[in-house]
Every structure is written in structure tokens, then in C-alpha cells.
Structure 1
Amino acid sequence: VVVIDALGSPALARRLVQKIAEITPKPITHVIVTHYHADHIYGLQVFKELGAQIVAQQDARTYLNSDTAAQRLVASRSELAPWVDDNTRLVPADRWLTDSTALELSGMRFVLERVGPSHTPEDLAIHVPSERVLFAGDLMFAGRLPFVGQADSNQWIQSLERLLRFDVAVAVPGHGAASTEPRQDMAVMRDYLTYLRSTMGKAAKELVPFEDAYSATDWSRFEPMPMFRFANRMNAYNTYLLMEKESLGGR
């Protein structure tokens, strides 16, 4: 069994292991990590204890060894108790990938595409050609707006364009239900990021203050989407700062 991402707590990972056991008695041999955000990795220790090999992109090591990762875990032990506690730890990969590659596991081919730096520096997307399935990680949020954070939205858009060329029937996003209309759902992500860059980029270039730019922007296309009230303003602000940096030659 190959698992994609380990969920956001050891307790959730143990539930996933139980669900897998209801489907097959075969051992879990590999966990492929799409990126090292907390909600995707705090369950890794459960799979490590089962003997699974953890595979990830090597740029995650910078975050994994950072004060930010350590402080996030400390905060999570308080905010997410009892599911994340003093026994929860950060687990490095057993195999760090330097580029895109393919793994042949039990007769099935997994194509690991390096698509970062996008949502994170270490983004991986996993394509299973025989099943026409794509695990997109947090490059794709289905049925809701994404969390952009400090992402490289320009590279994110380019990576989505790459993924749109794959022959897939189903895409499994980092958040949201599996998509049976992957091209449509990935296009929504691409268009949202493009709109953020276009509107906030114009404002930054013309030195329009963020508050004025945000108020003047027509958000009607994206306003009905879940998480708009919680995510859009911060997404726009982070993009404004990014575009300000790019306009000053920071790229």
C-alpha cells in the first residue's frame, strides 16, 4: 500500500491505517509527502512505526529544520490537544528527491512531479497513469478557495498549467473532495491566482494602498466560494506584498 500524505495528527493517521486495513491486509510500504505543512505530516510517525518508507522533495528539509516548524509544533500541542501532544514529533523523509522521478511499486508506476516552489518550496504532485489519477497536494483546493500564504503564485500558476496537460479522470486535492472534473477545478484555481496577481499587481505598480485596492476590486466571481470570507482578504494582501516585491525587481 502506498499512502499519499499522513494527515494532521497521529490520531488521524491511526484512523487512516484502520480504514486501509478494512480494504486490504497488505502492508503500508511507502508514504509520499506532497509538502511539509503541519496538516499533512503530523501523522508521519505512525507510518514510520509501521516500517513505511517516507518519500519527499528535498527542499522540505529547510522548513523541517527551521525554528518556524519547531514553534508551529509547540503551538499545535496546545491548540490541537489532545490530538497533537508532547509525543507528536517532526519526522524527516527516508528518501529525499532532488527532481521529478518515477517509482515502480508492486507493479504500479507512480510519477512524482516536482511542482515547487509553488504553494511551498517542496511541492510534489503524484500521477498514477494506469489509474488516470492525480494527487495534486495543495496546488489544488476543490470546492473552496485556497490558502495562498507566502506562496510563489507565479510558479503555482505555471505548475497548474503543467498538471492540466496530464491525462487524468480524477484529481485528489490537498483539501476538498476528489474531483471528477479535474481540468475544470484546476482551472478555477489557476484563474483565481491569476486574478489575484492581475488586480493586486496593478495596484502595487500604481502605488495604490492595499485597503483602497481591495475595496475597489470586483470579487463577485469568487465570493460565493466557501472560505472566501476567511481566506480571500489575506490571500489578496499576501499577493499585494509579493507583487510589490516583484515590481521592485525582487524576482
Structure 2
Amino acid sequence: MPLLQACGFFIAGILFFAPAIAQENPSINTINLKPVQVAPHTYFVQGFAELGSSKNQNFISNAGFVVTPKGVVVIDALGSPTLALKLIGEIKKITPQKIVAVIVTHYHADHVYGLQEFKKIGAKIYAQAEGRSYLSSETAKQRLIASRVDFAPWVNASTRLTPADIWIDQTMKLTIGGTDFLISRVGPAHAPEDLIVNIPSEKVLFAGDLVFRGRIPFVGNADSRGWLAALDQINQSDPSIVIPGHGAYSTNPPADITFTRNYLKYLREVMTNAAVNLDPFEAAYLQADWSEYDGMPLFRAANRMNAFNVYLSIQAE
């Protein structure tokens, strides 16, 4: 069975539509992006709370955009070139302004496979400098190879990894059309190159995958301790609205960030003793009470992997 990528990792055993089926039956191209306005000039589209697949075109993450008098700034590029083209089309329905910039919150595939379409129309891409390490890695290359099968035909031989035009070190203030975009590195956290994007005039903060809502987070090789610190930094920014990497936008950030925080804390709580004492992971996992989370989307796909990765990362701390 194929490997599927969900926010940068692979899960075996999910049925997918073969490329030939998709090409013979274009009617399966039924994924619609519906921008939701969350502030006077800010919109976002919400991905599905499921694993990426050919059926959903890898539309499992959020993206957003801000309209300014001098152009549109997009945050994240979605999980396939097809989705990016759809987002570009939706933006054109809202404003005649050109898309001038794309800010990448982190280089996980469900957020960046659409970048090439924004590059084609002249948008300048901004990302944190650690993203270069991912782009040059064997992991990135192999995931793209697998994605060309798992998400075909939406990710295919023409899909490529697109680097940033501007690599950000720690912080940057990008001003376009009189609107300030305060870009800050908060990684290593969910990823080594995590960025948050704060737009003070809109009172909106794009949190990327530091915040998950309505589904189990993907931990992967995250720095869970750094992630918890990053959540504190988001709260200190005191935005009125937070747009997460996955799930519905928040109008009560302190409360809605609590779910991600508590999940990470619980993973660390139940794994710490076993990790420090070098006790078997399996026993620690089976002894933990997962009842608060086991009914949530992607629990079966992600939770065991999350716990194991936290177990390993604590040993390395």
C-alpha cells in the first residue's frame, strides 16, 4: 500500500485513487476552497481534519492571505499545486491586487507543495533560514517522490520543492501597502524553521502548526519543550484572532491554544519517566490514559508516533 504524508510524515495503508483513474475522471476534482474573512482585510481557508490523499488533493492544512493597497500577502501555500491555483483563483475573486508575497510558516509538504504556482506569478517567497536544511535533505526528496504517487495526479512529476527568495534569520518586519507583517522565528518547535506572522493592524496572528484545533497534532521530530515555549510567545503577542495550521480559526486564543499545550504536556508527562529510566516505550504507552484524545480525528494515525517521538526526544534533552 502507498505511503501517505500527513503534515510531513508518512502513514501506510490508506487507499488512494491511482493517477489513471483521476485523469480519466476529472469530476473527482471537486475540492472547493472557501475563504473565510476573519478581519477587515484577512482571510483564510481551512483544510480537512484527515490524512492527505489523492481524494482530498492533500488539502489538510490551512492557508491565509491579507489584502493591502499594494498587493496581497499569502501565508502558506497548501499541499499541492492544484490547491495553490484554486487559492489564487479565490483571491482574484476578492481583490484585483496582485499577490506579491508568500510567507512560509514551515517547510512541511502540506504547506509548501503549492509554492511553485505563486512563484510563477511573481510572488516573493519568505521563509526561515533553517528551511534550507530541509530542502537539501534526503527526507524532503524521498517524501516528494512518495507524494507524487500518493497524491497523484495533483502532486506529480512537475511538482518541485521551491526555495524562498528571502531567508529570514530570527525576525523581520515586512511592510506592504502600509500593513506591517511581524515575522518571528519560534523554532525549533513543531519544526526547526517555525515562523509566526503577526499583523498588528488586523489583530491577527498566523501560528502555523504551533496550534492545532479539532484534531490530534502532528509531533513528528518536534522539540516539544521548545513548542511549549513558542505557545507562550504567541500568547504574549496578545492577538485577537489566531489562525492555526490546522483547524478552525480562534477568537479566544488563550483558551483555544490550551488544547495543543495540554496535549504536549501530557505526552511529556506520560513519557518522561520511561524515557529517563530507559524503560520500554510500549509499556509506558499502554499504561497511559488516552481517553481524552482517542475519539479525535487522526488519533489512530498520529498518537502512537507522537508519543514515541516525545519518548526519544526526552532522552536526547
The TM-score normalised by the length of structure 2 is 0.76
Q: 2:224 aligns with which of 153, 156, 159?
A: 153
Distance apart, 1:208 and its partner CA: 2.5
User: Which structure shows the higher helix fraction?
Assistant: 1
1:201-244 CA-partner distances (Å, limit 9, x unpaired) = 11222333111111111223333432222211111111111112
Q: Which residue of 1 aligns with 2:147?
A: 76
Q: 1:194 aligns with which of 265, 273, 276?
A: 265
User: Which structure shows the higher strand fraction?
Assistant: 2
Matched, 1:53 2:124: yes
Structure 2: 5+ residue runs without aligned partners? Answer: 1-71
Pairwise mapping of residues 4-153 of structure 1 onto structure 2 (< 5 A)?
4-153=75-224
User: Which amino acid counterpart does residue 198 of structure 1 have in structure 2?
Assistant: E
Q: Secondary structure at the match of 2:157?
A: coil
Q: Which residue of 2 aligns with 1:205?
A: 276
Pairwise mapping of residues 161-200 of structure 1 onto structure 2 (< 5 A)?
161-200=232-271
Per mean C-alpha deviation after superposition, the further-off stretch among 60-69 and 211-220 is 211-220
Distance apart, 1:34 and its partner CA: 0.3
Quote the sequence identity (%).
56
Q: Which residue of 2 aligns with 1:249?
A: none
Q: Which residue of 2 aligns with 1:2?
A: 73
User: Which amino acid counterpart does residue 214 of structure 1 have in structure 2?
Assistant: Y
Per mean C-alpha deviation after superposition, the further-off stretch among 211-220 and 48-57 is 211-220
Aligned-pair RMSD on alpha carbons?
1.1
Structure 1: 5+ residue runs without aligned partners? Answer: 247-251
Say which structure, 1 or 2, has more relative contact order (CA 8 Å, 6+ apart): 2
1:2-21 CA-partner distances (Å, limit 9, x unpaired) = 00001111100000001001
User: Which amino acid counterpart does residue 242 of structure 1 have in structure 2?
Assistant: S
CA distance in 2, matches of 1:100, 1:157: 19
CA distance in 2, matches of 1:164, 1:134: 10
CA distance in 2, matches of 1:244, 1:185: 30
Q: Which residue of 2 aligns with 1:233?
A: 304
Distance apart, 1:99 and its partner CA: 1.0
User: Which amino acid counterpart does residue 8 of structure 1 have in structure 2?
Assistant: G
Q: How many matched pairs? A: 246
Q: Secondary structure at the match of 1:131?
A: coil
CA distance in 1, matches of 2:94, 2:176: 18
Contact 2:213 2:259 (8 Å CA) reproduced: no
Contact 2:80 2:155 (8 Å CA) reproduced: yes
CA distance in 2, matches of 1:225, 1:85: 31
Matched, 1:216 2:290: no
Contact 2:228 2:261 (8 Å CA) reproduced: yes
CA distance in 2, matches of 1:199, 1:69: 31
Q: Which residue of 2 aligns with 1:244?
A: 315
The TM-score normalised by the length of structure 1 is 0.95
